[in-house]
Structure 1
């Protein structure tokens, strides 16, 4: 028996007319169902004149049992990184472009959301990655990207998997993608699509200085280390979901691991990953 949600958190990270309209519609819809509504603090400012409860993103789990994100995949990624340790299920209302993760359209709110609130939904978990450089850390739902801080500059780095040397690369960088991120930046570089249920990550060299470099899929539980070697005369950086950037100097090592916490995604009961691929990638 799936859990029925009674305390609904709402968050939007962009102040646009479509997002505001959807938020107003959600508040009216949830109020009519007599459900408790909690607005994330900054989202509250997008709905002037309301008297709804507010909560900071850092402790939404103390106020709601379902968090609805209004926006695109980028908005959901941003929110997920902040609430990952709160173990909150997240549902996305798509107000972006692709919508790989935010799979409910605004005109489906009444039918789709009603069913979900009645306990008819599919819950899926996705793992995240953490990257550490010295004592600094960033996390990612989609991918970690090692690159130069200077545009169009090649970097040199060694890759180790479980302390075993894999190879040395001279390239623009390296994408380390989760199954969730395999349909994002990595895909545009020619990487494979990984089904979300796979416990694997993709290592995708970016414009390598050799024609024999190819993407490789490895166990997500492996300890991955990337050392920026002494040949580098420029500073590299590692970024999580193109958001947080950590500097990586020559002879420094980035350690990337799968996090123990998981992103909990709520989908309509008839959700199909392959249908999402067909519609978003225009397959036949």
Structure 2
């Protein structure tokens, strides 16, 4: 595959991405690529994001309608969606623009909706209490079967891709992003229903939020607060047809990234890999 154009999206709140974007633009032009703005993006374009996973998420919904390829360069913290470091940029560009040593990995969005609105999320959809001293009740259904009613601070519904984001922080499992499942994680549950539930992404998930004494709660999609409610609300969550294409060099693997980012196998600051 021959790439002819590129877009550079950077986290404008991170000053170090400004100089890096200029360096990257110069290098891409040396390889013969045309630098486009997001408004003039076209099929076959590579989008380089300079920032953290939030930068990828902010651009994700803009990049699903065309044949676009995303490569995340990490200037943030963990960076599971942006696994590359800028110090690697020369080697990365050589692999994808000269050696053709890359693969295309598709990651799918999920959708949440009620009768009036619908949103797409890449990592997670969350319903959460608004007042710290109060709880909410959430009924969880899988394909119309009632699983239970949870008294909790909230519920996180995560895609496989989002398992290393808010889901992980709330005690949810790390999931292979190729698994095609959805994780349902109660937050600080006050009932015996505490453990995460993993279901196929082909199933339909229903959440009925029941606030106590009309206390407010809010909904969040990929870190963006959507709205506040104080009335019962029913949300339907399912897989979607939208997906994002990531450009990955052949030396990068999800579990290698997990090992590096979470320092698994590191004792006393020294990495250990004894093999099998």
Q: What's the CA shift for 1:111? A: 1.1
Cα distance in 2 for residues equivalent to 1:211 and 1:164: 18
What TM-score does the superposition give when structure 1 sets the normalisation length? 0.87
Corresponding residue of 2:270: none
**1:188-210 deviations in Å (ceiling 9; x for gaps):** 12111110111101100000012
What TM-score does the superposition give when structure 2 sets the normalisation length? 0.90
Corresponding residue of 1:48: none
In structure 1, stretches of 5+ residues that fail to align are 41-55
Match 1:33 to one of 24, 31, 34: 31
Corresponding residue of 1:18: 16
Describe how 1:1-284 pairs up with structure 2 within 5 A.
Answer: 3-40=1-38, 56=39, 60-61=41-42, 65-118=45-98, 119-229=100-210, 231-284=212-265
Structure 1's 235 and 61: CA in aligned 2 closer, same or farther, altered over 3 A? farther
- Contact conserved, 2:136 with 2:211, CA < 8 A, in 1? no
Cα distance in 2 for residues equivalent to 1:124 and 1:11: 20
**1:70-104 deviations in Å (ceiling 9; x for gaps):** 11111001111222233421111111111211122
- Contact conserved, 2:135 with 2:212, CA < 8 A, in 1? no
Structure 1's 152 and 66: CA in aligned 2 closer, same or farther, altered over 3 A? farther
Report the aligned-residue RMSD: 1.7
Cα distance in 2 for residues equivalent to 1:81 and 1:19: 21
Structure 1's 149 and 109: CA in aligned 2 closer, same or farther, altered over 3 A? same
Structure 1's 214 and 15: CA in aligned 2 closer, same or farther, altered over 3 A? closer
Structure 1's 223 and 149: CA in aligned 2 closer, same or farther, altered over 3 A? same
In structure 2, stretches of 5+ residues that fail to align are 266-276
Cα distance in 2 for residues equivalent to 1:38 and 1:121: 22
Q: What secondary structure is seen at the aligned counterpart in 1 of 2:190?
A: coil
Structure 1's 133 and 173: CA in aligned 2 closer, same or farther, altered over 3 A? same
Q: What secondary structure is seen at the aligned counterpart in 2 of 1:190?
A: coil
Cα distance in 1 for residues equivalent to 2:89 and 2:223: 30
- Contact conserved, 2:11 with 2:17, CA < 8 A, in 1? no
- Contact conserved, 1:87 with 1:263, CA < 8 A, in 2? no
